[in-house]
């Protein structure tokens, strides 16, 4: 994404720390909720499609690969698009694109095509990517610099509300249809087989048709409202200094941004890896022996913990430095995953679910620390950070490989390594190195 001011033609109101942006933040919160809800539905799709298409762990993780690869491909072009057509128009296009992706689930389920599902996921994620590129820095900029991390944590809490509700919703509608084995299908009559296939397809089609309708309605709302104008060149760092006129020509020249992009990569990769495997992990005999529909409901505890942590973290970060909280949460998350790997039964189950509570403040805190003081380069930095979300595409596939080779229990060492790096970023890597 080209550097320069991250401008919008949505209104003539200029962003300033002394203004009240309650309405803008409220309406933007709906976006965070929607993309959290949609992203977390992947955790329910994974066990469903794994059974339907008889896939191994590596193959089924192509769901996350297709979804999060959109961030790598679309983020930078999305940033340039938003700068060209305006912030509000970018949001509307993103919502419409996501709606089209949701509609594509209908033929994918009807034709029972895994490849069509992957394509639909990519289109859906492309729309969400456009929303993220614009909304995350917008919320961070919309107010006082010193409370940017707290503010983004608050809006991200509603993102977590979406991720908490989605597993319950998906478990009831998608996992409610028990997938038959090959042997069971052979014993069915033609009529029974046709009825079963219809129910199996409808389990996916109906939820995503509803999502498409919701996305189109929200797009229509954003098309008619007004939002404040962003001029990222006026953004100050959290210590009150402005670096809009520094001599750096690109956001890539800021070390704390580059290290932050790596932190975003491993954070999303680690968080998505855990969420993607939870249903199958909780179904293991040595953990909880839960059926898929029941295990799917427990996934809400993982994402619900993130929601609670973000609401609490938003308040705590007004008193405790964000980087300190980031380091503490990352180390605690790493220890919880290690404990789950070394234990069994209820201890293994609840320790891995508890990781969600400590995931809570990581993404918004890393994001705001990484763009701190970048001024006119904030827009480009947002594109870079959103591109790094591709970690959610690559690391789950890697963990899937290890789950197939060394077992699902010990494959969780991948998130442990991710959290250790995030702890380093919160301890030292976040420190800005500005031009003199």
Sorted by sequence, the CB contacts under 8 Å of residue 65 that are 6+ apart come out as 393, 394, 396, 397
Q: Give the predicted TM-score (pTM) of the model.
A: 0.74
| CATH number for 367 | 1.20.1250.20
Q: What percent of the chain has pLDDT over 90?
A: 33
Q: What percent of the chain has pLDDT over 70?
A: 79
Question: Residue 228 — left, alpha, or beta (φ > 0 → left; ψ -120 to 50 → alpha)?
Answer: beta
Q: Would you state the pLDDT for residue 178?
A: 52
CA geometry: angle at 423 spanning 417 and 425, to 5°?
110
Residue 62 in tokens: 């192509």
Q: How far apart are CA 101 and CA 127, in angstroms?
A: 8
Q: Would you state the pLDDT for residue 416?
A: 97
What domain range is 58 assigned to? 22-429
Q: How far apart are CA 72 and CA 350, in angstroms?
A: 33
Residue 348 located in a structural domain = yes
Q: How far apart are CA 63 and CA 267, in angstroms?
A: 18
The pLDDT tens digits of the residues spanning 136-166 come to 667 766 766 666 666 766 777 787 788 788 8
Q: Would you state the pLDDT for residue 244?
A: 45
Q: Would you state the pLDDT for residue 12?
A: 37
| Count of domains observed in the chain | 1
Decide if pLDDT at 179 tops 80: no
For the chain, the average pLDDT equals 81
Residue 17 located in a structural domain = no
Between residues 285 and 191, which one has the greater pLDDT?
A: 285
Q: Would you state the pLDDT for residue 165?
A: 86
Residue 434 located in a structural domain = no
Q: Would you state the pLDDT for residue 196?
A: 63
Residue 104 located in a structural domain = yes
Q: How confident is the model at residue 406 (pLDDT cuts 50, 70, 90)?
A: very high
Q: How confident is the model at residue 245 (pLDDT cuts 50, 70, 90)?
A: very low
Residue 391 located in a structural domain = yes
Instruction: Name the least confident of 73-82, 328-337, 353-362, 376-385.
Output: 376-385
Neighbours of 73 (CB within 10 A): 15
Q: Would you state the pLDDT for residue 20?
A: 58
Q: Would you state the pLDDT for residue 5?
A: 30
Residue 217 located in a structural domain = yes
The pLDDT tens digits of the residues spanning 41-87 come to 888 888 888 877 878 888 988 998 999 899 889 988 887 787 777 77
Most confident of 188-192, 232-236, 404-408: 404-408
- Among residues 167, 176, 347, 172, the alpha carbon closest in space to that of 275 is found at 167
Question: Residue 97 — left, alpha, or beta (φ > 0 → left; ψ -120 to 50 → alpha)?
Answer: alpha
Residue 15 located in a structural domain = no
Residue 406 located in a structural domain = yes
Q: How confident is the model at residue 396 (pLDDT cuts 50, 70, 90)?
A: very high
- Among residues 233, 236, 254, 245, the alpha carbon closest in space to that of 433 is found at 254
């Amino acid at each position: 994404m080209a550097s320069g001011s991250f401008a919008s033609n949505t209104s003539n109101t200029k962003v300033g720390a002394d203004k009240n942006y309650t309405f803008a933040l409220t309406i933007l919160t709906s976006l965070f909720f929607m993309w959290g809800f949609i992203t977390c539905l992947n955790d329910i799709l994974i066990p469903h499609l794994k059974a339907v298409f008889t896939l191994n762990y590596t193959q089924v993780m192509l769901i996350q690969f297709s979804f999060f690869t959109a961030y790598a491909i679309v983020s930078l072009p999305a940033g340039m698009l938003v700068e060209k057509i305006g912030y509000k128009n970018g949001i509307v296009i993103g919502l419409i694109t996501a709606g089209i992706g949701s509609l594509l689930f209908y033929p994918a389920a009807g034709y029972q095509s895994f490849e069509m599902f992957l394509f639909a996921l990519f289109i859906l994620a492309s729309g969400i990517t456009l929303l993220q590129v614009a909304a995350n820095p917008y919320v961070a900029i919309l107010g006082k610099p010193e409370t940017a991390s707290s503010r983004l944590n608050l809006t991200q809490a509603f993102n977590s509300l979406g991720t908490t509700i989605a597993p319950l919703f998906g478990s009831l509608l998608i996992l409610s249809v028990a997938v038959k084995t090959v042997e069971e299908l052979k014993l069915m009559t033609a009529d029974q087989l046709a009825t079963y296939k219809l129910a199996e397809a409808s389990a996916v089609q109906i939820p995503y048709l509803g999502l498409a309708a919701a996305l189109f309605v929200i797009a229509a709302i954003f098309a008619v409202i007004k939002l404040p104008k962003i001029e990222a060149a006026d953004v100050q760092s959290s210590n009150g200094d402005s670096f809009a006129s520094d001599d750096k020509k690109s956001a890539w020249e800021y070390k704390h941004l580059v290290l932050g992009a790596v932190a975003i990569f491993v954070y999303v990769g680690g968080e998505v890896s855990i969420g993607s495997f939870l249903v199958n992990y909780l179904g293991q005999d040595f953990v909880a022996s839960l059926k898929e529909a029941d295990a799917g409901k427990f996934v809400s505890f993982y994402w619900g913990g993130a929601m609670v942590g973000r609401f609490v973290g938003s308040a705590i970060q007004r008193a405790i430095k964000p980087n300190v909280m980031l380091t503490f949460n990352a180390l605690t998350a790493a220890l919880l995953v290690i404990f789950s790997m070394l234990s069994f039964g209820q201890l293994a189950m609840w320790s891995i679910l508890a990781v969600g509570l400590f995931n809570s403040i990581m993404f918004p805190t890393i994001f705001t620390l990484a763009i701190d003081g970048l001024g006119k380069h904030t827009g480009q930095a947002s594109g870079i950070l959103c591109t790094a979300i591709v970690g959610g595409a690559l690391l789950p596939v890697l963990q899937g490989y290890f789950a197939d080779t060394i077992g699902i229990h010990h494959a969780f060492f991948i998130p442990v390594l991710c959290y250790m790096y995030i702890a380093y970023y919160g301890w030292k890597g976040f420190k800005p190195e500005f031009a003199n």
